[in-house]
Structure 1
Amino acid sequence: MRLPSWIAQHTAAVRALLVFTVLTGLAYPLAILGVAQLPGLRDHADGSIVQADGKPVGSALIGQLFTDADGNPVARYFQSRPSAAGDGYNTDSTAASNLGPESVEDTLGPDGRQSLLTQVCARSKAVGQLENVDGRRPFCTDDGVGAVLRVFHTEGLTGAVTRVVSVNQGCPAKPFVAAYEGVPVECAQPGEDYSRGVLVPIRGGAPAHPAVPPDAVAASASGLDPHISVAYARLQAPRVARERGLPLPRVQQLIDEHTTGRVLGFMGEPGVNVLRLNLALDRLPG
């Protein structure tokens, strides 16, 4: 007996659903799982888990913080780059800050938000203090915020200067410059609207090439980057050697041993896996 066309169509649809469920929902995933377990691929497929004393301590693909309970750097370890993923390297919150080069003015007050410039300035100052180097950067104040003024003119954007405010330095902070074009500079009052003033970043006297490298002050796009630059690793080497009582050349040798080259020989820059480097330090005698 011939089935009605609508029943035949539904029957064909159910058969197709079952076939593709088996192919794409079972056969294909199992095939990929089998390939992933081949020698040379299994470690990557399982998350590149790093073991220490038989226990998992992290992944070679995901960075982590080496700080104490108060968030302060543990001096005997190499430090990772900043992370904007949650409280730092949170895989459930992987993200960038979405702040760009024009983010130079802070929002002051209890619910305030730091600009990207101030974040970079504060991090550079902190790294400079930790590593005992000059942490100054262009367009940063000595107290670690963005060196930015709001300049008010008689004609809006032009004319004589009537008022100048250091918008990232909340009162009672002392402005990083005393005067601008002969007008005294004020500290900023939280909640006051300075948007009618012209935004003027001030370069300052910081060196053109800061001692603190860029990856020490800026997070990666994912917030999970497990690597730091060779320059940042070498900047930290004297501190780590001193804290561990090791010769500096031995620590520098470990950095070289844990430096990976450019992808395919030409993409990106050499990097140092912080977790593997710190584990290598812990394995040293004494």
Structure 2
Amino acid sequence: MSAISSAMRQHAAALRALLALTVVLGLAYPALIWVIAQLPGLQDKAGGSILEADGKPLGSSLIGQLYTDPDGNPLPQYFQGRPSAAGDGYDPMASGASNLGPEDLVDTPERTSLLTTVCERSRAVAEFDGVDGRRPFCTGGGVGAVLSVIGTPTATRVVSVNEPCATTPRPFLDTYNGVRVECAEPGEDYSMGRLVPIRGVATDPQVPTDAVTASGSGLDPHISPAYAEIQIDRVAAARGMSPERVRALVAAHTDGRTLGFLGDPTVNVLELNLALDGR
């Protein structure tokens, strides 16, 4: 009998704890957070920071958007955001990064390495915005400048692993340590060699880092002032505006460092493009 009574007391205690935690964490805490979110300065962000025109929602200032045509080509009259690895681009339901790191150097038939992806993006941005797209560790053809150096201690063979012979008239480098550089033969394994990225002559690329790399969330709505600057002439020409007028709009939508010392200045692309449209 005492065992049954003890079990009932334990169950009653557990039930009281469940009810108390439900009230505190399921009702009181969410209500407190909701009240705090309604305070001035927080209400807009808690509501999603939705930007509207004529009563119609156009997007959130916290989430980037694509400015492309139906074929995925960037529209010249709009400032472009940074690349996104979230779904097809800025998909909040697929937020995330590529999870590729700085040691991802070699292209494979299945996928392109992070280094070559950066090189390709730099070249594409340069052509679109009329700037110099050269950057360290990239070939002139827009792939990762990486050699497989085979043989120890003296190299006996050197292969440019990201330049297939079928598409490369000649490797980006003629010789390495006195050994002729070869192009890569399809299907051949060069993993036995030592991977050597070649920095090249480009030291101060005109295409900024945020133009060629995605953010960790894939949703970043901001770009750097440097990336905005190289787009000004292209946007101005497409819209028939003066570069000075476009530059003034960029300055008006540039935010300084958080609290004056954290992070870097940023430009909100959605707000800037809406201002260009007069919305």
Q: Percent identity?
A: 63
The answer to whether 1:171 aligns with 2:165 is: yes
**SS of alignment partner, residue 256 of structure 1:** helix
Aligned equivalents of 1:162, 1:19: Cα separation in 2: 74
The answer to whether 1:151 aligns with 2:145 is: no
**SS of alignment partner, residue 88 of structure 2:** coil
Q: Where does structure 2 lack aligned partners over 5 or more consecutive residues?
A: none
- One-letter code of the match for 1:243? A
User: What is the root-mean-square deviation of aligned Cα atoms in Å?
Assistant: 1.8
- One-letter code of the match for 1:103? D
Q: TM-score, normalised by structure 2?
A: 0.93
- One-letter code of the match for 2:166? P
Task: Tell me which of 190, 211, 236 is aligned to 1:216.
Answer: 211
- One-letter code of the match for 2:184? A
Aligned equivalents of 1:215, 1:60: Cα separation in 2: 18
Aligned equivalents of 1:152, 1:190: Cα separation in 2: 17
The answer to whether 1:233 aligns with 2:228 is: yes
* Residue in structure 2 matched with residue 9 of structure 1 by the alignment: 10
Aligned equivalents of 1:136, 1:10: Cα separation in 2: 70
Aligned equivalents of 1:234, 1:100: Cα separation in 2: 28
Describe the superposition over 1:61-111 as per-residue Cα deviations: whole angstroms up to 9, x where unpaired: 11121111221111000000111222221212222222222222211x2x2
Q: TM-score, normalised by structure 1?
A: 0.90
The answer to whether 1:141 aligns with 2:135 is: no
The 8 Å contact of residues 52 and 279 in structure 1, kept in 2 or not, is answered as no
Aligned equivalents of 1:138, 1:96: Cα separation in 2: 23
Shift of 1:43: 1.1
Change (3 A) 1:7 1:236: same
Aligned equivalents of 2:149, 2:167: Cα separation in 1: 18
* Residue in structure 2 matched with residue 187 of structure 1 by the alignment: 183
Q: Where does structure 1 lack aligned partners over 5 or more consecutive residues?
A: none
Shift of 1:182: 4.3
**SS of alignment partner, residue 265 of structure 1:** coil
Aligned equivalents of 2:96, 2:192: Cα separation in 1: 33
* Residue in structure 2 matched with residue 52 of structure 1 by the alignment: 53
Q: Name segments (4+ residues, structure 1) moved above 4 Å.
A: none
Describe the superposition over 1:256-276 as per-residue Cα deviations: whole angstroms up to 9, x where unpaired: 000001011000000000000
**SS of alignment partner, residue 169 of structure 1:** strand
* Residue in structure 1 matched with residue 91 of structure 2 by the alignment: 90
The answer to whether 1:67 aligns with 2:62 is: no
Aligned equivalents of 1:257, 1:72: Cα separation in 2: 27
